[in-house]
């Protein structure tokens, strides 16, 4: 008998028939995290957003994009740059930043020995040496709404055979921070941190002046990092990007009622003396402590401050010629003391209407001559004190007094030069060439 081969029955959809094959798309690679001060979003190479966030500095206007010659030809250098806008960093408006060859931006206003430890924006902090190749450059771009720093084709010191890195950090006027990565030739966790810290993320800190245990009359500066964001280095790859969106902070509130009724995750408190809303952990912590704001916030309410302002106001204050100056003062206690002093000067004969008529000419002339003599003596003492201070600072450039004036020097002053120590790997601060003088400031890494 002949065997007939029947066709195999095809399963119907109710019998579990396979659905039609759909085109395959790469899975989204978006990682979002809340860091109290910022929300970070990491976009993988397959995300279109990662390419949208990249700023093409090469196509920027030449007047807005500048190649930093010194940073592009040296190793372990840092240069201060003034932004064209106030950039809010952790709620603090910053106008001056410091670009470092090591793939990060120092956001502090005081150059110190822990340059790489805190107060940074680090797309990829590592031991980069732009001076290794003529093709390596450090470029920055500022168009008034965004400031971009790009480390272009830079090589790792001692790892030059692994290829060049190209990445950037963008500071937006609204406070957003974007890290863009174009070329990352090796896995970031493989980069050695023995000669230089390796970090990716953000950090901010505040400084406190404490009495020095060795010299009781002097004060030493202590740096406290109050917040840090560390990104997963394994996620930093070519064509990836990270976007940091700032969250509201206590510093944004300008009144006591808005501060105390804030529903932020921070414990916001109002300091009436400083007219400031704060959690007590920001760059203004030194003032917060000096003026006893923590104790004031615990024991008083907004109603107490309003009652104090109402009763401390003088009815004659409106007629004082110093009103224009006093209205700019934020401290009510300071206003009261100034008002009392000014009132005394405006009314030297207060307390008796006929007192001036009873004074003899000799008696009325004495205070004038005495005041003139006292003014001359004070002026001479002031000039002598300035001269002595200048001699002392010149002979002791590393003293607290010298550092005080260095930290607060105007931008057009030349920086002081320090000898670098051979036993420490250091960053040297340089100022851009041109109308500013070049100088060097030692800032040892952690």
Tens digits of per-residue pLDDT, 150-162? Answer: 999 999 999 999 9
Q: Which residues of 74-100 are buried (b: 16+ CB within 10 A; e: fewer)?
A: bbbbbbbbebebebbbbbbebeebbbb
CB-based contacts of 267: which residues, under 8 Å, 6+ apart? 279, 280
pLDDT band at residue 210 using 50, 70 and 90 as cut-offs: confident
Q: Is 73 domain-assigned?
A: yes
Q: Are residues 219 and 110 in the same domain?
A: yes
pLDDT band at residue 203 using 50, 70 and 90 as cut-offs: very high
**CA 185 to centroid of chain Cα atoms:** 31
Domain boundary among 217, 247, 277: 247
**Structure pTM?**
0.66
* Most trustworthy range by pLDDT among 33-37, 147-151, 210-214, 338-342: 147-151
Mean pLDDT score across all residues of the chain: 75
For 289-302, write each residue's pLDDT tens digit.
999 998 887 777 88
- Domain limits for position 76: 31-247
Q: Is 12 domain-assigned?
A: no
Q: Are residues 135 and 262 in the same domain?
A: no
Number of domains in the chain: 2
Q: Are residues 223 and 272 in the same domain?
A: no
- Above 70 in pLDDT, residue 334? no
Q: Are residues 38 and 157 in the same domain?
A: yes
Q: Is 37 domain-assigned?
A: yes
Domain boundary among 187, 214, 247: 247
């Amino acid at each position: 008998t002949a065997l007939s081969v029947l066709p195999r029955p095809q399963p119907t959809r109710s019998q579990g028939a396979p659905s039609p094959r759909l085109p395959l798309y790469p899975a989204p690679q978006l990682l979002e995290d809340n860091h109290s001060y910022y929300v970070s979003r990491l976009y993988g190479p397959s995300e279109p957003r990662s390419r949208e966030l990249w700023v093409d500095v090469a196509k920027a206007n030449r007047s807005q994009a500048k190649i930093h010659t010194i940073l592009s030809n040296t190793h372990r250098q840092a240069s201060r740059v003034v932004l064209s806008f106030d950039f809010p960093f952790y709620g603090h408006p910053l106008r001056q930043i410091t670009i470092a060859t090591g793939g990060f931006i120092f956001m502090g206003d005081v150059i110190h020995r822990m340059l790489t430890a805190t107060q940074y924006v680090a797309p990829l902090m590592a031991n980069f040496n732009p001076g290794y190749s003529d093709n390596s450059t450090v470029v920055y771009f500022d168009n008034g709404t965004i400031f971009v720093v790009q480390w272009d084709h830079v090589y790792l010191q001692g790892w030059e055979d692994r290829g060049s890195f190209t990445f950037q950090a963008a500071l937006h006027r609204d406070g957003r921070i974007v890290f863009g990565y174009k070329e990352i030739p090796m896995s970031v966790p493989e980069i050695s941190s023995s000669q230089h810290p390796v970090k990716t993320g953000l950090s901010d800190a505040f400084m406190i002046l404490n009495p020095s245990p060795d010299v009781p009359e002097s004060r030493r500066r202590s740096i406290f990092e109050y917040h840090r964001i560390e990104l997963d280095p394994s996620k930093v790859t070519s064509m990836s990007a990270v976007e940091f969106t700032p969250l509201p902070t206590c510093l944004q509130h300008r009144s006591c009622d808005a501060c105390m009724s804030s529903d932020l995750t921070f414990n916001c408190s109002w300091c009436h003396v400083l007219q400031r809303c704060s959690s007590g952990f920001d760059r203004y912590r030194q003032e917060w402590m000096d003026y006893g704001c923590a104790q004031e916030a615990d024991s008083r309410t907004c109603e107490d401050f309003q009652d104090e302002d109402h009763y401390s106001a003088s009815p004659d204050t409106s007629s004082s010629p110093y009103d224009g100056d006093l209205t700019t003062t934020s401290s009510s206690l300071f206003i009261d003391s100034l008002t009392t002093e000014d009132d005394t000067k405006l009314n030297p004969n207060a307390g008796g209407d006929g007192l001036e008529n009873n004074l003899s000419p000799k008696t009325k002339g004495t205070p004038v001559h005495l005041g003139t003599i006292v003014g001359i003596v004070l002026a001479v003492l002031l000039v002598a004190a300035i001269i002595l201070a200048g001699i002392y600072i010149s002979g002791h450039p590393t003293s607290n007094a010298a550092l005080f004036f260095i930290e607060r020097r105007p931008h057009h002053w030349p920086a002081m030069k320090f000898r670098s120590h051979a036993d420490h790997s250091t960053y040297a601060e340089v100022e851009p060439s041109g109308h500013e003088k070049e100088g060097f400031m030692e800032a040892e890494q952690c």
